[in-house]
């Protein structure tokens, strides 16, 4: 980690949160026999696989806060509040809401299917909103580096608006398609996603990759 500066860590955290939620939180459990699933969970240590994405993202966030908190106090807290500063704090601390909710969603047994759906909606929206705030700062940085060029500003604004509007629409469609059933192994897993549209989730994940690898296009 010696070659990683604070900004690199921050960008990694933002991208990890965005991709991990889309990839691992909304993807339905593969259609396999419940008896095989129960036997697999009870006879192996595979339950760690359910916790690993959440734990990894949480560790990266802790590293981000630890590495950049001093700089935040020195440069972000003083002075008057601006819209950009508000966007920064919203993007930085949105995880304080969605991570605890996703932990409850994935690991707390006995939740009703309606409760699971509410938790998923709130946590997913929080994650996407937090990531979108982080992306705003990156686009603003490119705009400033261009010398505040008006054509560049229009281009970045259009790209951001189109991509994130499409992402939020696909996220809403994906969440509406999610069907919960009682967990077959409540002692090992929390909420159980029986079905979610593969079309919407694939398109959403593709847009996330497009945004992360082609910024700005």
pLDDT tens, 86-123? Answer: 888 888 887 777 778 888 888 787 888 888 889 989 98
37 found inside a domain = no
Q: How many domains does the chain have?
A: 1
146 found inside a domain = yes
pTM for the model stands at: 0.66
- The predicted structure's pLDDT at residue 214: 59
31 found inside a domain = no
Contact assessment for residue 60 and residue 16, using Cβ atoms and an 8 Å cutoff: yes
116 found inside a domain = yes
15 found inside a domain = no
99 found inside a domain = yes
- The predicted structure's pLDDT at residue 55: 67
65 found inside a domain = no
Between helix 113-145 and helix 150-177 the angle, nearest 10°, is 170
- The predicted structure's pLDDT at residue 39: 54
209 found inside a domain = yes
Output the CA angle 194-198-201, nearest 5 degrees.
105
- The predicted structure's pLDDT at residue 54: 63
- The predicted structure's pLDDT at residue 30: 43
Over residues 130-151, the pLDDT tens digits come to 888 888 888 888 888 888 888 9
| Stretches in the chain below the pLDDT threshold 50 | 1-12, 15, 18-34, 37, 40-50
Domain extent for 96: 82-214
């Amino acid at each position: 980690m010696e070659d990683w500066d604070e900004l690199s860590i921050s960008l990694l955290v933002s991208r990890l949160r965005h991709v991990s939620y889309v990839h691992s939180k909304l993807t339905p459990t593969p259609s396999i026999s419940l008896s095989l699933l129960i036997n697999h969970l009870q006879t192996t240590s595979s339950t760690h696989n359910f916790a690993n994405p959440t734990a990894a993202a949480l560790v990266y966030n802790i590293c981000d806060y630890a590495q950049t908190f001093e700089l935040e106090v020195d440069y972000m807290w003083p002075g008057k509040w601006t819209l950009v500063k508000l966007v920064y704090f919203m993007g930085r601390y949105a995880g304080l809401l969605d991570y605890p909710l996703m932990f409850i969603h994935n690991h707390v047994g006995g939740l009703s299917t309606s409760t699971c759906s509410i938790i998923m909606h709130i946590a997913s929206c929080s994650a996407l909103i937090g990531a979108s705030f982080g992306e705003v700062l990156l686009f603003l940085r490119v705009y400033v580096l261009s010398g505040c060029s008006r054509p560049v500003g229009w281009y970045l604004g259009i790209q951001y608006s189109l991509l994130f509007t499409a992402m939020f629409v696909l996220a809403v469609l994906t969440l509406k398609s999610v069907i919960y059933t009682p967990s077959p192994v409540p002692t090992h897993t929390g909420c159980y996603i029986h079905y979610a549209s593969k079309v919407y989730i694939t398109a959403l994940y593709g847009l996330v990759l497009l945004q992360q690898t082609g910024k700005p296009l």
